[in-house]
Structure 1
Amino acid sequence: MKDIVALHDNYIQIEKAIKYIDENFKEHPSIDEIAKNVGMSKFHFIRVFKEYVGVTPKQFLHCVTLNYAKEHIKESKSILDSSLDIGLSSTSRLHELFVNLIGVTPKEWKEKGKDVQITYGFGETPFGEALIGFTDKGICYLGFIDDNKIEIFNRFNELWENANLVHNEIAANEYLENIFVKNKKYNLFVKGTNLQVNVWKALLNLPNGVVATYQDIANYLDKPKAVRAIASAIGRNHVGYLIPCHRVIAKSGAMSGYRWGIERKKILIAYESINK
């Protein structure tokens, strides 16, 4: 647990640095300036960055700018076509985290989780604090938290409002450590419409370091005119990170529409592009 807490502390520093970069990227800030802004010495800042993502801050910066998306979006279509056909057999690290995605039954959907027992709790991840919920069928919720635990819990509770919720912080932290540190496999247990579930299944097949547009996903599902509906389905994803909605960007290359924060989305994409 000590390791994951340390990773979380490093994430906080990285998030603050990226916010500074977003506001000042046109001035091309130096590593010294960024380190000073996060309250660290240059060499300590470089060391923390290196320990966290395995590369120097300068290399990391090349990945988190919008240029990363713009440079890769042109090739994402062809990569998407092939990678989506690979499915769960992909060698992507993400695909090693789960073995199946299970949708709720019509009865469970209608009754909003009645008679379903969900264990939940808050814990640390390398990308900030999170709320996780899980059943005997699989993980049913994973949402990142910034400041407001009540807001994230209300989202979780609204989704499964008739379920039997059991609070267990120890079990929750064990799950989070297994996911983010040990890369343990888990099923995913999701609640959504047929379209939403199909969209989420498509997202599961996007390998690390690859971004796609909303139009790409719509085309893959043979619904080229349903981009808005596809975008809405992606926005409804309630299992963050494991269902990688962070890998979908606007056609212009803009990093928009991430319910857990644009900075976190940039960090996730950059992290995966470096560690793919």
Structure 2
Amino acid sequence: MNAQTAILEKDITPEGGDYEIVRHAIEKISLDYRDQPSLEVLAEEVGETPTGLQKLFTRWAGLSPKAFLQAVTLDHARKLLDSGMPLLEASFEVGMSGPGRLHDLFVTHEAMSPGDYKTRGAGLTIRYGYHISPFGIALIMVTDRGLAGLAFSDA
């Protein structure tokens, strides 16, 4: 094995340095999402600079550490709301400072409020249409708050 191959394997194999850094960051976010760890805290935890972690995580995971944290938080919030937990309690349980932050998270990612989600969209209007896209025929769904869904309908 030459030096270039050794460097490449270090970075891309499950035993490699980059893999371990990203794995550790994902684990930290997944376990500590209630603390809403900042990029700086995550970087310190894994021994990287904030900029270095941002670039490495995004390259490996396809999204930023903040976007991954939001996805994990949203997933837990959905489960709590599905179990019947009130919005205020669910907000605090997932580490939000209040229901306004949970509202912003839902609207940004779901195009509906947490209340709309909790009531399974009762009274919510979702408009849709089929549109030509570079990837085929797209089914686009929107609410008054934004994009709610995207699917492709070509075979």
TM-score, shorter chain, exceeding 0.5: no
TM-score, L = length of structure 2:
0.37
Q: Relative contact order, CA 8 A, sep 6+: which one is greater?
A: 1
